[in-house]
């Protein structure tokens, strides 16, 4: 466990090594939240609520979705693909640790860093500018904390899956781009799932994407109440377990097929 | 002294895809691709004892790196048996890699953006090295390799020589009994090379560390290894002492004559044909190199000097590099 903690620390150091990235990061998140807020204000334009969500709730939903994204989002899929493309994975495999586990920990280090140094300042800045509503119920915060932890796990698992595919194709840039877009769209980041047509909502029940953004944001805005919260969390737990199987199988096959590029 | 490395009929095959030419070819490649099976390593067998320093040499693409990658558990062999430190590298990877150290000269295993000491700290945790072991062992390593002043610099700011010394130190954090070095001196200047060689000799003597080394720099091998394994197209063509290699192949000398006037080979050949001398043109004007069997050196010199006026004369041993080149040109080594 020690080595994983150390890896999180190293990732912190790496994030701090490039400070400009960090400041522009805060700015980009604020711009995104602002843009989506004004878009939604235009859509609401006078209506007090759409699909049972008030404009205030929607503003909070947008803000918190982006803030949660800072935590669950990571680039380990790209890193794995790059390490395979450049043959750097060889130096990872001579270390006595689980490669995918270590990658996940690096993602976690990155996530915690962004949560503390990017999300929090970002939320404070946007809360000054936009009418956000924060719950005062301690349970809501606890459920939300648990929920974004699960978001992180599911998103990282999808990233690992996408990354490991690079062991077979050696270059999966297109797949990674598609995956990123699909997650932004179907996770509820851009549009809450309850706004999709019924048939689309029905289909999305069979995919893990809404577990990434929609569920934690709905919990935070208290749009989910009682049983809905429990169901949401359960949905997340199930997917985070289910996704382990394809990762395990692919990884086992990948190690056999491994080719080290560039000598 | 047990065998540290045991390899039996080890083979690695790759599929090499080839692209068809032209636009139509590119479309056809989308559906079916042509490939050939390439044997990177073809049924090799050897053993290495504890404490040996072995040079593993071969031309580019001979299969050196592929062998090392199988021995370190990175690649799965297609067929054959590998046992390193009593384990199967690929099957028991995590336990196995604790017992080895690896340096890939062409890749960095330190984290690029952070200070060297942070990488060391992480590796110390990863290999579960105790503080006291670390202090005792690494202080000495850091001092010998003279990397103390580099520890707080990020890796990207180090020169290649500085980086390579840090890489070597990083590979030794857990003081492994077996060290794989894949071209550790590539691109380094003479001083750094000497320092690294001396260091390797020292740890070999101090800890009886087994070292398997691949390199293109034959002087590395001459300085370090008693034994060489020579690889060509995936097969071992020589496995034995460097000394024996020299004795069997390095007979004779080279004499370089610089004449004061222009001479043609037609003039030289008849004079020395009786001793089986081969002539080749030297790099300077009017200079010729005679490849001579050892026994006849003085006769040949006196013969040439009697016939032509010379300005300069040099006598060379046949270098190991040349021996190896000869072996590759002629194929399998005899003896």
What gap in Å lies between CA A100 and CA A158, rounded to an integer? 12
* A87 has a chain B CB within 8 A of its CB: yes
- Partner residues linked to A141 by β-bridges: none
A263 located within any domain? no
B34 located within any domain? yes
pLDDT band with cut points at 50, 70 and 90 for residue B335: very low
B328 located within any domain? no
Same domain, B234 and B269: no
pLDDT digit string, tens, across residues B171-197: 999 999 999 999 888 888 888 889 899
Which chain B positions have a beta carbon within 8 Å of A97's beta carbon? 94, 126
Residues 6+ apart with CB under 8 A from A164: A80, A100, A247, A250, A251, A254
* Mean pLDDT taken over chain B: 86
**Number of domains observed in the structure of chain B:** 2
> Residue A142: helix, strand or coil by DSSP?
helix
pLDDT of residue B201: 93
A262 located within any domain? no
Angle at A108 between CA A106 and CA A112, to 5 degrees: 120
Which chain B positions have a beta carbon within 8 Å of A6's beta carbon? 121-122, 125-126
* A139 has a chain B CB within 8 A of its CB: no
What gap in Å lies between CA A146 and CA A151, rounded to an integer? 9
pLDDT of residue B54: 94
Angle at B309 between CA B304 and CA B312, to 5 degrees: 85
Same domain, B202 and B284: no
A248 located within any domain? yes
Same domain, B10 and B159: yes
**Which residues of chain B are at the A interface, by a Cβ-Cβ cutoff of 8 Å?**
14, 65, 69, 72-76, 93-95, 97-98, 100, 102, 104, 106-109, 111, 113-114, 118-119, 121-122, 125-128, 154
Q: Find out whether A149 and A236 touch, Cβ atoms under 8 Å.
A: no
A159 located within any domain? yes
Nearest to A94 among B97, B108, B125 (CB): B97
Q: Find out whether B164 and B188 touch, Cβ atoms under 8 Å.
A: yes
Same domain, B157 and B298: no
Same domain, B156 and B201: yes
What gap in Å lies between CA A213 and CA A189, rounded to an integer? 6
Residue-range definition of the domain harbouring residue B282 = 252-317
Specify the CATH number for the domain of residue B214.
3.40.50.300
pLDDT band with cut points at 50, 70 and 90 for residue B245: confident
Specify the CATH number for the domain of residue B288.
3.30.70.260
- CB contact under 8 Å between B94 and A90, yes or no, is no
Residues of chain A with pLDDT under 50: none
Nearest CA in chain B to A88: B107
B67 located within any domain? yes
* A14 has a chain B CB within 8 A of its CB: yes
pLDDT digit string, tens, across residues B28-61: 887 887 888 888 898 999 999 999 999 998 888 7
Q: Phi and psi for A80 in degrees, rounded to 5?
A: -60, -45
Same domain, B232 and B267: no
Nearest CA in chain A to B14: A259
What gap in Å lies between CA B6 and CA B87, rounded to an integer? 10
Q: Find out whether B217 and B197 touch, Cβ atoms under 8 Å.
A: no
**Number of domains observed in the structure of chain A:** 1
Residue-range definition of the domain harbouring residue A90 = 2-257
Same domain, B52 and B107: yes
Same domain, B33 and B112: yes
ipTM of the complex: 0.79
Q: Find out whether B237 and B323 touch, Cβ atoms under 8 Å.
A: no
pLDDT band with cut points at 50, 70 and 90 for residue B99: very high
- Partner residues linked to B84 by β-bridges: B5, B87
* Residue B313: its H or E element: strand B310-317
Same domain, B118 and B262: no
Higher pLDDT, B269 or A150: A150
Same domain, B144 and B292: no
pLDDT at residue B10 is higher than 80 = yes
A68 located within any domain? yes
Same domain, B64 and B123: yes
Within 10 angstroms of residue B175's Cβ, the number of other Cβ atoms is 18
pLDDT at residue B331 is higher than 70 = no
Which chain B positions have a beta carbon within 8 Å of A7's beta carbon? 122
How far lies A93's CA from each of A57, A213, B93, B260, in Å?
Answer: 47, 33, 8, 62
pLDDT band with cut points at 50, 70 and 90 for residue B129: very high
A195 located within any domain? yes
Nearest CA in chain A to B154: A17
pLDDT band with cut points at 50, 70 and 90 for residue B318: confident
pLDDT of residue B250: 66
* A258 has a chain B CB within 8 A of its CB: yes
A238 located within any domain? yes
Strand runs labelled E in B50-149: 53-58, 79-84, 100-104
> Residue A5: helix, strand or coil by DSSP?
helix
What gap in Å lies between CA B276 and CA B269, rounded to an integer? 9
B157 located within any domain? yes
Same domain, B180 and B291: no
Q: Find out whether B320 and B221 touch, Cβ atoms under 8 Å.
A: yes
């Amino acid at each position: 466990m020690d080595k994983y903690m150390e890896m999180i620390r190293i990732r912190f150091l790496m994030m701090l090594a490039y400070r400009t990235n960090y400041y522009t990061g805060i700015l980009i998140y604020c711009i995104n939240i602002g843009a989506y807020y004004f878009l939604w204000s235009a859509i609401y334009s006078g209506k007090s609520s759409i699909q049972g969500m008030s404009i205030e709730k929607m503003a909070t939903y947008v803000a918190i979705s982006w803030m949660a994204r800072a935590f669950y989002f990571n680039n380990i899929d790209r890193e794995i693909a790059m390490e395979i493309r450049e043959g750097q994975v060889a130096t990872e495999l001579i270390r006595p640790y689980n490669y995918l586990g270590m990658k996940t920990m690096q993602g976690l280090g990155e996530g915690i860093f962004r949560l503390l140094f990017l999300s929090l300042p970002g939320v404070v800045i946007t809360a000054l500018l936009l009418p956000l509503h924060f719950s005062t119920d301690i349970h809501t915060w606890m459920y939300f904390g648990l929920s974004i932890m699960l978001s992180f796990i599911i998103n990282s698992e999808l990233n690992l899956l996408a990354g490991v595919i690079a062991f077979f194709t050696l270059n999966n840039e297109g797949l990674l781009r598609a995956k990123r877009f699909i997650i932004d769209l179907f996770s509820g980041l851009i549009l809450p799932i309850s706004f999709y047509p019924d048939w689309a909502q029905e289909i999305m029940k069979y995919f893990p994407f809404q577990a990434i953004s929609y569920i934690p944001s709905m919990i935070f805005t208290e749009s989910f109440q009682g049983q809905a919260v429990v169901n949401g969390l359960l949905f997340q737990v199930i997917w985070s377990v289910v996704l382990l199987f394809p990762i395990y199988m692919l990884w086992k096959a990948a190690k056999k097929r491994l080719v080290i590029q560039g000598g | 002294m047990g065998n540290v490395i045991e390899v039996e009929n080890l083979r690695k095959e790759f599929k090499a895809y080839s692209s068809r030419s032209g636009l139509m070819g590119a479309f056809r490649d989308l559906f079916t691709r042509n490939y050939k099976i390439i044997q990177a390593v073809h049924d090799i067998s050897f053993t290495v004892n504890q404490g040996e320093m072995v040079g593993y040499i071969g031309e580019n693409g001979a299969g050196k790196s592929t062998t090392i990658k199988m021995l370190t558990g990175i690649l799965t062999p297609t067929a054959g048996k590998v046992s390193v430190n009593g384990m199967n590298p690929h099957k028991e990877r995590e336990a196995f890699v604790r017992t080895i150290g690896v340096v890939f000269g062409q890749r960095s295993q330190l984290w690029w953006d952070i200070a060297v000491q942070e990488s060391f700290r992480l590796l110390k945790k990863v290999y579960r090295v105790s503080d006291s072991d670390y202090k005792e062992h690494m202080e000495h390593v850091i001092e010998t390799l003279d990397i103390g002043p580099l520890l707080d610099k990020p890796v990207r700011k180090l020169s290649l020589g500085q980086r390579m010394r840090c890489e070597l130190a990083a590979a030794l954090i857990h003081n492994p009994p077996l060290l794989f070095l894949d071209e550790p001196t590539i691109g380094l200047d003479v001083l750094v090379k000497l320092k690294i060689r001396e260091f390797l000799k020292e740890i070999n003597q101090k800890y009886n560390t087994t070292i398997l080394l691949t390199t293109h720099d034959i002087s590395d091998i001459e300085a370090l290894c008693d034994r060489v394994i020579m690889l060509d197209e995936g097969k071992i063509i020589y496995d034995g002492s460097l000394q024996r290699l020299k004795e069997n192949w390095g007979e004779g000398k080279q004499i370089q004559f610089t004449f004061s006037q222009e001479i043609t080979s037609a003039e030289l050949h008849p004079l020395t044909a009786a001793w089986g001398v081969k002539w080749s043109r030297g790099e300077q004007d009017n200079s010729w190199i005679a490849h001579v069997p050892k026994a006849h050196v003085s006769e040949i010199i006196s013969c040439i000097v009697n016939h032509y006026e010379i300005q300069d004369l040099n006598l060379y041993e046949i270098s190991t590099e040349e021996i190896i080149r000869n072996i590759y040109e002629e194929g399998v080594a005899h003896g």
